[in-house]
Structure 1
Amino acid sequence: MRPTAFRLSALTLAVLAGTAQAQAQTSAQNDDGSYNLDAIQVQSSADASKEGLSEVFAGGQVAEGGKVGILGTQDVMDTPYSYTTYTEQLIEDQQAASVGEILLNDPAVRVARGFGNYQQVYLVRGLPVYSDDITYNGLYGLLPRQYLASEFIQRVQVFRGANTFLKGAAPGGSSLGGAVNIVPKRAPNQPLNQVTLGAQSGGQAGLAADFANRSEDGRFGIRLNVARHDGDTAVDGEEEELSMAHIGLDFREEVFRLSADLGFQKHRVDGGQPNITFLSGVPIGDAPDADESIGQPWTYSDSNDIFGTLRAEYDFADNVTGWLALGARRGEENSSFANPDVSNTAGDYTAGRFDTAREDHVLTGETGVRFRFDTGSIGHQVTVSGSSYELKSDNAYGLSSGGVAGNIYNPVAVSRPANTFFGGDLDNPELTARTRFDSVAIADQLSMFDERLLITLGGRYQQIKTDDYDYDTGVRNTETSYDESDISPTVGVLYKLTPSLSAYASYIEGMEKGDRVGQNIGAVNAGESLDPYSTEQGEIGLKYDGGNIGGSVTVFRSRKPEAGLNQDNVYEVLYDQENTGVELMAYGNLTRDLTVLGGVSYLDADADGNDAIGSPDTQANLNLEYRVPQMPDLAVDGRVIYTSSQYADEANDQKVDSWTRLDLGARYLIALSDDKFLTLRGRVKNVTGEDYWASAGGYPGEGYLTIGAPRTVLVSATLDF
C-alpha cells in the first residue's frame, strides 16, 4: 500500500480498522498530527493462495486486483482483460443486502430476474449471468441458487466479457458476457468483534454479528458471521425473511496454505413483486406503483441451502506451486408464483398458478499446478488445471391454466386456483436432470523487456454432458441427452507504456451447450446434437493507475450464435448476435476528501438487424463520497444510476422507457473509547420515488419486465468492540 496521510479522528480509526481486516499495518505520527500508514503484508487469504488478497485501492471501494480464474490473483494493470473487484468497505457503507445491490455500482451491469421466479440475474454487457452460475472462490454451483446475502461476502469480482478459458463453461449456460466471483470472508490480522442492528422502511429489522481472531503466531484464523432479517419490506404486501451463518477458517505456513468454509442460508419471500409480461402487440405502459406489490398474497419463494469448501495449496519448490479445491452444496426450494400477462394498455392481466419443488446436490472441484521459469530473457508462468462439476437435480411442478385475473395498476387479492397439471410429486420430487462438466486448461504468461510486455496464451478443453429424466416415470430421455466437447482458446497482449498506463488487446471465447434438436418442431435433422456454441470476443483497452485515481477505457466486440429453423427446415445456427461496446471506468480519491466510483457503458446489441431484448445502449453510474473536513467523523455520499431505453421483444415494437435513480447516504462514527466505536449509517434508495421498469428479459428470448425498487429508507448502527 502506498503511504497515505490521514487526519486523526474516529472516522480515520474506523477506516484503519476496516482496512486491517485484509492487512496488518503500523503507523507513525507526523508533526502536523496526521498519520502515515507503513507498508503492509497480507497474511490471510480467502483462496489459500501465496499472493493473498489484492491490496485496496485509494478510496477503499475497489481492490487493485483479484483472482482471474486459472491465472490466479493478478493486478488489474497486468491483465489483458476487464474486471473490477468491489470491497467489503463499499458493501458495508452502502448497506447493500445482496450481490445484485453491490453490482448496481458497475456501469456494465444491471440486475434482472430469472424466468418466472425471484432468482437474481446479472446482465453484463447485455448478456445474462444467472445467480447459480456465479463462482465461490472460483468454483461453480456452491452458492444459494436464487439469492445470496451480502453477509457472506468479503469481495465481489466482476469480469466483463467471455471467460470460458479462465473459469470453464458455466453449467447453467450463461456467463457469456461476463462473470461474477464471490470472495468469502476471512479473519483479519487484528481481532474483530462487530454487531450491527438495522431497519428499513416497511418495518423490516435485522441483526448481524461478525467475529474473528487469529492465533498469536498469525498462522491460524477463524471468522464467524451470523445474521437474521425479518419483516415487511418497503413494498406494501411483500415480506422477506433471511437467516444465514458462515464460518471461514484458514491456516498458513511457509510452504502450505489451507482454507475452508461452511455456510447456511434460508431465504423466503412472501407476496413479492412478480415478473410482468406485456403480450405481443401490446405497447409497454408506465410502471405501476413500486411501493405496492402486484403479487398475490399466497405466492412465495422459500429456499434453504448448506454448502462447504476446502482448498489447499503447497509449494513443491520456490517456483512450483500446486493446489486442490473441493466443494459441495445441498439446496431445497419450494415456491408458488402467478406472473401476470398484460393484455391491453389499461393494464388488465391474466395469470396462472405455478408451483415448483426442487432439490439440488452439487459436487465440484479443481486442481492445478503452476510453474515459474525463464527461457533466456523471457519469463514464463505456466499453469495446468483441471476442473469437474456434477449436479443432480430433483424437480416437480404443478400449474393451473389461468384462474387469476386483475390489473397491474389496481392490484387486488384473488383466491388461489387449484393446480390442474402436474409433473412429478411436489412433496417428493425425483431426479429429472443430471449435469456433468469436466475441463482441462493450460496457460502460459510470458514476460519480456523487464516485464513491460506481457503475453497470455492458453486454451481449455471442455466436456459437456447432460441427461434429462421423465418427471413421472424417471426414465432417461435419450432425445434430449447431450454429450459434446470443444476447445476455448485465448490470446492476450499487454504493454506497460508507463508504470501507470497499460495498453492491452485480447481474444477470448465463451461456451454454452448446443441444442439437441427436438422431434416436435418439424426439423429434418431432429435428434441431432449441435456442437457447443462459442461466443467470440475481441477487446482492446487502456488501464490507468495514478496512485490516487484509477480507471480504464475498453472497446469490445462479441459474436454470440443464435440457432433456429432455416428455410429448408434444418435446425442450425442462423446468425450471430453482435455486441459492440465502449466502457469507461473511474475510481479512487479525486481529492483528500472526495472519492469517486463510476463510469459509462455504450452498447450496440445487434440481433439480426434489431436491438437484442433487454440491451440498453447507454448505462451510467456516478457515486461520490465526501468526508466533511469540518466534521472528520462524518461522510456523505450520493449515487446516480442511469439506464437508457430498451426493448422487450425481438421485433423492437415494445419499448421500455429509460430510468434514472438517485441514492443518498451518510455515516457518522463515534469513538466510545480507545477500542470501541459506533458507526451510524443512513441511506435512502430511489430518493425521488420514481416508478420504473428496471429490466427487460434475463432469459433468452423472453421480454418479461421487473419493477424497480421503491423509495426505501435504511438505517443501521454497528458497534466495534
Structure 2
Amino acid sequence: MIERGLSRHALARTKTRWASVVLATSLIGTAAQAADLTTPETDTRKQDAEPAADAADTNQLAPVKVTSDKTKGFAPASVETGPYKGMDALDVPATINVVTRDVMDAQGDTGLYDALRNVPGVVRQQLNGLAYDNLSVRGIALDNRSSFLIDGVLPIDNNIWMPMEDKERVEVLKGASALYYGFTVPAGIVNMVMKRAGSEPVTSLTALGDSNGSIGAAVDIARRFGPDDQFGIRVNAMDEHVETPIDGDRGYRKFISAALDWKVTNRLKLQYDLEHIETSVVEQAGIAPLAAGKNGLIALPALPDPSKLLVSNAHPTNATATSQLVRADYAISDNWSANFTLGQSITRRDRWAWVFQKYNVATGAGSLQASEQNGQMYENKNVRLEVVGAFHTASIAHTLTVGLTQDWLFQPDFTTFFFTAPQNLYNPIPVNTLTPSGSPKAFFAQHIRNGGAYAFDQIDLTSRLQVVAGVRRSEYIASQAGTPNQDISRTSPSGSISYRITPNTSVYASYVEALESAGSAPATAANANQILPAAVSHQEEVGVRTRLADRALVSLALFNLRQPAAETNADNVYLLDGNARYRGIEFSVQGDVTKDVSLIASAVYLDATQVDSSDPTLIGKTPENTPHVTASLFAEYRVPVLAGLSVNGGVYYVGPRPVNSADQASIGGYTLLTAGLRYTRRVYGKRVSFQANLENAANRRYWSAAGSNQLGVGLGRTLELESTLEF
C-alpha cells in the first residue's frame, strides 16, 4: 500500500512537471505569434552575421581570432583526435568517425550513446544506458577508464552520464591507437571536443522536458573580449530533474563547464577546460543469463515490460565527476611549435548495482542481488609534451611530431556489501526489504602508470602521395594487492600510406602494432576489477574517402585486427585466453545530399571469430555481444516552403548478439525509429527555436545489450521537448 500511494503522488508530480514544460516552452515562444513583428529563420544550421564594423574602426588592425576549427553541417572538414589533429579528413589514414554539433542538435542528443549510435560498429555493452553508457566498438568493449578522452588528451572515467550540451563534436578513432595514447584497448578511443568561444558571441537559454515528466533548463554563453579579442570564455550549464521511462525511477543530472583561452602573445596561447557533473538515478537491474542446460544452450526469459522497475527506488547511485585540463601552445618559429598539457579527472560514486538472477523462465520468479559499493573513486592524471616541426629534405616535405606522455590511473580501496530480495521479472513487486547475503568483498587499490615516448613523421613524397611512419616506446606499470604486479616495456611501430587520386578522393593503407591494455575484469566476475596483463594486438586497414561537391564525405574501409581474447571461464574468472580476429567492411556517408537534405548514414559487416583457445569449444565462436551487422540512417529535411522548419527521422539497426563467447544463446536484433521537428523564427530580432524528438517512436521492446554475464532491457518511447531563446 505504501508503494501504491507513492505511485499516485508521483503521477501527480509528473503531470505538474509536464504542464510546467509546456508552459515554459509556450512562454518562450509567445511572441512568435505576432507575424508582423517576426522574421522566419532561413536555415536552422547557420548563425547570423555580425553587424558591419563602424567606420571609426576601419583604420584599426584586424583582430586576432582564437577559435576552434568548427565544422558547420553534418560533414566534418577535419579531425581533432590523436596524431591526426587538424588534418583534412581526406588525409587521415585511419577510420575516424566524427559526429558534428549539427547532428547532435538535430537529434536532440543528451547522452554519449545518443551521438554514437550514428557511428558504425558502436553498440551498448551490458547496460541499457540509464545511468551511463558501457560501449563496444567493432565487437571489442571499450575500457571505461582509458578509452574516453576530453579534447584528445585527457582520459576521463566513463562510469557516469556524459553531457553532450557542452561538446562541439564527438570523434571515434577506430582500432589500435597506441602510437599516441599508449596502452588502450584496440577497439579505439572516443574523443569529446569541448565547445569554445568563437568570433560570434553566444547567449542562449533552453527549457527542456520530456513525456516522462522530466524538466530542466540549460544555458550557453560565449564571449571574446580584450584588445584584439585575445580572451575567450564559454560557459555551459544544465540542471534537470529526471523522470526516466521506468515507473518510479527518478533522479537528477546537472553539470557546469567552462572553456577559457588567452592569446598571450602572437606566439603563446593558453587554454583551460573545466567540467563538473553530478547525477543521481536508480539503476535498473541487469538480467543474468541462467546456466546452460543439458543441451549446452541457455534458455532466455521473455522480454519484460521496460517500464517496470525491478529494484528499490530508495537506493540510487550518486556520482560526481570533475575534469580539468590546461594547455599551452607556443610557436618556437614559423615552422616549429610546442604544446604542453596537464590534466586531472576524478569520478566518485556511491553505487547500488542490481542483478536479477536464479529465476524461472516460465513464471519469472527469481531473486535480486543488490551490491552496495560506497566510496568508489576513479582518478586519471595526464601530462604530455609535444613538439611539431615542418622541414624539407631536398624536395620532400616533412612534418615531424615528437612527444612524451605519462598517465596515472588510481582507484582506492572500497568494500562491496551484498543483499538479496525476492522479485518477479514479469510481474514486479515492491522491494521494501533487503536481506544481507554472504560476506562483504574487498576491492584493493589499483595503481597504473602508462607512459611513453613517440615520434611520427608525415612525409609528403609528392603533392598527392603521403607516408606516415611512427614508433612508440611504452612502459606500463600496474599494481594491486592480491594480483601480480606488471612492469612491461615495448617498442611498437606503425605506418601508413595515402594517395590523392583526385583533389577530392583519397585511398590509404595502414598497419599498427601495439601493446594494448586488456582492461580489467567486470564486477560480476570472481576476480572483479582485477587488471589483466597487457597484450599485443595487430591491425591492418585499407580505405577510400571522397568528398562530393564539397558537401558530403563518403568513406569505405576494410579492416583486420587480431587481439588476445579476454573471457570469463567456467569458474567465473575473467582472464586472457586465446586470440580473436575481427575483420570486416565499414561504410559511412555524411553531409548535404541536396541543399535541403542532410544525412549521416553508416553500416558495418563484422566477422569476429575466436581463432584459438585453451577451451576447444570456443574456437570458431563469435565473441559475446558482437553483432555481425549494424547500420544507421539519420536525415534532416529543411522544408523550403516554410523557412525555419525542418523535420527529421532516424533508423538504427543492431543485429543479433551472443550472450557469451560460447554462443550458448543470442539476443535478437532490433530496429529503432526516431522522428523529430525543429522550428526557428526571429522574435524582435532574437532567435527562438522549438524542437521535439521522439525516441523509440514505435515503442519497440528489445534487448539493448549483452556482455559481462548481464542482459540489458531497452528503454521505452519518450518524447523530448526543448525551446531555446538566443539573446
TM-score by length of 2: 0.84
Matches for 1:422-571 after TM superposition, within 5 Å: 422-423=440-441, 432-450=445-463, 452-469=464-481, 477=482, 479-513=483-517, 532-546=534-548, 547-562=550-565
Give the counterpart letter for 2:163 in structure 1.
A
CA 1:26–1:660 in structure 2 vs 1: closer, same or farther (change >3 Å)? farther
Q: Is the 8 A contact 1:43 1:218 kept in 2?
A: yes
1:289 corresponds, among 305, 309, 315, to 305
Per-residue CA distance 1:125-174 (angstroms, 9 max, x = gap) = 1111234330111224335632211123111111122211132223xxx3
Aligned-pair CA distance for 1:101: 1.0
Aligned-pair CA distance for 1:572: 9.9
Aligned-pair CA distance for 1:115: 12
Give the counterpart letter for 2:565 in structure 1.
E
Correspondence for 1:186: 196
Is 1:141–2:141 an aligned residue pair? no
Is 1:352–2:369 an aligned residue pair? yes
Give the counterpart letter for 1:412 in structure 2.
I
Is 1:582–2:585 an aligned residue pair? yes
Aligned-pair CA distance for 1:692: 0.1
Unaligned 5+ segments in structure 2 are 1-37, 54-61, 293-297, 526-530, 611-618
C-alpha RMSD over aligned residues: 2.9
Taking every aligned residue pair, what percent have the same amino acid on both sides?
A: 25
2-structure distance, mates of 1:260, 1:706: 38
Q: Is the 8 A contact 1:111 1:120 kept in 2?
A: yes
2:134 corresponds, among 118, 121, 130, to 121
Aligned-pair CA distance for 1:647: 0.6
Is 1:592–2:595 an aligned residue pair? yes
Give the counterpart letter for 2:109 in structure 1.
A
Runs of 4+ in 1 over 6 A off after TM superposition: 24-27, 114-117, 514-517, 563-566
> How many residues align structurally?
650
CA 1:605–1:222 in structure 2 vs 1: closer, same or farther (change >3 Å)? same
Aligned-pair CA distance for 1:329: 2.4
More deviation in 186-195 or 357-366? 357-366
CA 1:54–1:505 in structure 2 vs 1: closer, same or farther (change >3 Å)? farther
Correspondence for 2:642: 631
Q: Is the 8 A contact 1:44 1:186 kept in 2?
A: no
1:153 corresponds, among 167, 180, 192, to 167
Matches for 1:325-474 after TM superposition, within 5 Å: 325-346=341-362, 347-357=364-374, 358-400=376-418, 403-414=420-431, 415-418=433-436, 420-423=438-441, 432-450=445-463, 452-469=464-481
Aligned-pair CA distance for 1:564: 8.3
CA 1:489–1:560 in structure 2 vs 1: closer, same or farther (change >3 Å)? same
Higher relative contact order structure (alpha carbons within 8 Å, sequence separation ≥ 6)? 2
Correspondence for 1:525: none
Give the counterpart letter for 1:376 in structure 2.
A
Give the counterpart letter for 2:634 in structure 1.
N
Aligned-pair CA distance for 1:550: 1.6
Give the counterpart letter for 2:424 in structure 1.
N
Q: Is the 8 A contact 1:299 1:338 kept in 2?
A: no
Aligned-pair CA distance for 1:706: 1.3
CA 1:168–1:115 in structure 2 vs 1: closer, same or farther (change >3 Å)? farther
Correspondence for 1:278: 289
Correspondence for 2:605: 602
Is 1:260–2:264 an aligned residue pair? no
Aligned-pair CA distance for 1:26: 9.0
2-structure distance, mates of 1:62, 1:11: 22
Is 1:44–2:44 an aligned residue pair? no
Q: Is the 8 A contact 1:549 1:587 kept in 2?
A: yes
1-structure distance, mates of 2:333, 2:347: 40
2-structure distance, mates of 1:494, 1:614: 33
CA 1:580–1:9 in structure 2 vs 1: closer, same or farther (change >3 Å)? farther
Aligned-pair CA distance for 1:514: 6.6
Unaligned 5+ segments in structure 1 are 1-7, 28-39, 46-51, 425-429, 470-476, 522-528
CA 1:710–1:624 in structure 2 vs 1: closer, same or farther (change >3 Å)? same
Q: Secondary structure at the match of 1:611?
A: coil
Q: Secondary structure at the match of 1:222?
A: strand
Give the counterpart letter for 1:445 in structure 2.
Q
Aligned-pair CA distance for 1:648: 0.3
CA 1:165–1:396 in structure 2 vs 1: closer, same or farther (change >3 Å)? same
Aligned-pair CA distance for 1:356: 0.8
Q: Is the 8 A contact 1:283 1:655 kept in 2?
A: no
Is 1:209–2:187 an aligned residue pair? no
Aligned-pair CA distance for 1:320: 0.6
2-structure distance, mates of 1:70, 1:223: 26
Correspondence for 2:124: 111
Give the counterpart letter for 2:46 in structure 1.
L
2-structure distance, mates of 1:564, 1:585: 31
Aligned-pair CA distance for 1:596: 1.4
Aligned-pair CA distance for 1:178: 1.9
Q: Is the 8 A contact 1:488 1:509 kept in 2?
A: yes
Q: Is the 8 A contact 1:9 1:632 kept in 2?
A: no
Q: Is the 8 A contact 1:62 1:84 kept in 2?
A: no
TM-score by length of 1: 0.85
CA 1:573–1:124 in structure 2 vs 1: closer, same or farther (change >3 Å)? closer
Give the counterpart letter for 1:718 in structure 2.
T
Correspondence for 2:240: 229
1-structure distance, mates of 2:330, 2:340: 9
